[in-house]
Each structure stands twice: as C-alpha cells, then as structure tokens.
C-alpha cells in the first residue's frame, strides 16, 4: 500500500511506520457526540488517515456551540452537525470515508451501528447517555475512549470491556457530567481532551504504545497540570462485574494493564 505525502511525518516515526499507517487506513472509529470533544477528535482522526470515521449525533448547530465546536460557523445555525462535519472532513481528506448517523443513542439501530466499528469515542455531554453507551460497548465488546470536560477541567480513560474497569466502576463523583449550559466550559479545554481521545484511538488501532486502560487522566487547565489516577475494575460492578461475563472476552490476553 502506497501512502500520499500527507502522512509522511507519521510514516517516518520509529515504531509506527508504514505498518501503523496501514492499520489506520483499515481502522474504523465511531464518534458518539459531535460537540466540543467530537469536533477535534474527528478532525485529527481524519488528518491522521483513519480509513472510516462514523459520526453519530442528532443535534443541530446553535450559537452557544461556537466557542468550542470549531468545525462550525455562525451561518451553520440550525443545520445538522453530522452533515456539516461530513462535508468538511471529506473535503479536508478525500482519501477517507465519513459515515453519518443522525440519531440519538437511545434509538434501536445503535447496537447494529456500533458493531461496524473497531473502537468508540464517548464524546457525549450527559452522564445517563455515557452510561448507556458504556453498557452497549460492554455488550458488544467494543473498546471505548471516554472524555469529559467542565469549566477548566478535563478527563480521559480508555475502557477495554471485561479486562479493565468500565465507566460504572468509577465513583459517580469522578465522572464529569458536562453540564456546560449551567457551569460553562472554556473553549480550548475540550480541544485538549478531544485530541487525546484521538491519540488513544490511534494507539489502539495501530497497536503502538499503551492505552489509558485502568488509568484516569485528569487535566487542570488552571494550573496547567495533568494527573493520573489508577482505577481498578470493580468485581461487583453492575455493568461489568463477575457475573459470567468473563467467557465473552475473546481477546482478553491481548491487553495487559499495569
């Protein structure tokens, strides 16, 4: 497989190379939520050459989105987010495929959609939907990269079903609810976390590096610091606990957590 010069700075990376780029070209990433997190994640996955990117969001653009959702413009108000993003990402990188799913997470087609992808990015903005997506990913053994932001703060972890902890294993108070309408969010903060989500997906697809499974990364924009908190799987977790789930993990030994 020959690559265009746009990927030359990736192909020359020691340990990534042509093999990593080929893996990205074959990779399929589903982004659920095309807000402040989904925007930068989609842009950098498209730039990196991920072969198929799925975008799931039912919403339209509103003026309050524009401080952080950098794919959109003021004259996009009331237009479909996934349709606009598909058009702009496809022009940005015509070598990849952008699929759109203008629907909510609750709709019945969601599991069928999710099964088409290798890894899922949780770029949602509310806790109930995050936990719903967490369960769907567990049910279908799809890794999920969780990102959350509020005010000046962000967080990130990667969930490998039934191997590391899932989102429900975290204490409820440690999961950002992302109530940006009430508490607000500084525009660049979701940019930081969304880009890190893209990096996690790229590492998973290429097999390079170590994903953030079993670790919660917390970003403090006020102090300019990152902290890492170890997280363990809860054997009594109602979502992924030891209730006969272990035999469903076909590739359990592929992932080793520190």
Task: Specify burial of residue 3 (Cβ count, 10 A radius: 0-12, 13-18, 19+).
Answer: middle
CA 33 to mean position of chain CA atoms:
9
CA distance 65 to 35: 7
HEC sequence for the chain: CCCCHHHHHHHCCCCCHHHHHHHHHHCEEEEECCCCCHHHHHHHHHHHCCCEEEEECCCECCHHHCCCCCCCCHHHCCCEHHHHHHHHHHHHCCCCEEEEECCCCCCCCHHHHHCCCCEEEECCCCHHHHHHHHHHHHHCCCCEEEEEEEECEEEEEEECCCCCCCHHHCCHHHCCCCCHHHHCECCHHHHHHHHHHHHHHHHHHHCCCCCCECEEEEEECCCCEEEEEECCCCCCCCCCCCCCCHHHCCCHHHCCCC
Query: Of 123, 121, 124, 193, which is closest to residue 152 (Cα–Cα)?
Result: 193
79 catalytic residue (yes or no):
no
The active-site residue, picked from 137, 178, 180, 237, is 180
Enter the tokens of residue 87. 């058009």
Q: What is the set of active-site residues?
A: 180
């Amino acid at each position: 497989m020959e690559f265009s010069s746009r990927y030359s700075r990736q192909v020359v990376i020691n340990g990534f190379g042509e093999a990593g780029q080929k893996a990205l070209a074959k990779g399929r990433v589903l982004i659920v939520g095309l807000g402040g997190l989904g925007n930068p994640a989609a842009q950098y996955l498209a730039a990196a050459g991920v072969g198929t990117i799925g975008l799931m969001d039912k919403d339209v653009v509103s003026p309050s989105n524009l401080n952080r959702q950098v794919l959109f413009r003021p004259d996009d108000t009331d237009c479909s987010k996934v349709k606009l993003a598909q058009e702009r990402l496809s022009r940005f990188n015509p070598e990849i495929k952008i699929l759109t799913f203008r629907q909510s997470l609750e709709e019945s087609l969601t599991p069928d959609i999710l099964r088409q992808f290798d890894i899922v990015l949780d770029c949602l903005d509310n806790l109930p939907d995050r936990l719903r997506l967490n369960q769907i990913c567990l049910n279908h053994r799809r890794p999920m990269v969780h990102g959350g932001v509020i005010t000046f703060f962000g967080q990130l972890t990667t969930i490998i079903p039934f191997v590391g902890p899932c989102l429900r294993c975290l204490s409820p108070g440690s999961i950002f609810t992302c109530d940006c309408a009430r508490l607000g969010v500084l525009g660049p903060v979701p940019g930081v976390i969304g880009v890190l989500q893209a990096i996690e997906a790229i590492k998973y697809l290429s097999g390079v590096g170590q994903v953030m499974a079993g670790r919660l990364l917390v970003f403090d924009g006020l102090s300019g610091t990152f902290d890492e908190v170890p997280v363990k799987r809860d054997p009594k977790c109602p979502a992924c606990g030891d209730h006969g789930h272990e035999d469903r993990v076909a590739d359990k030994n592929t992932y080793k957590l520190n």
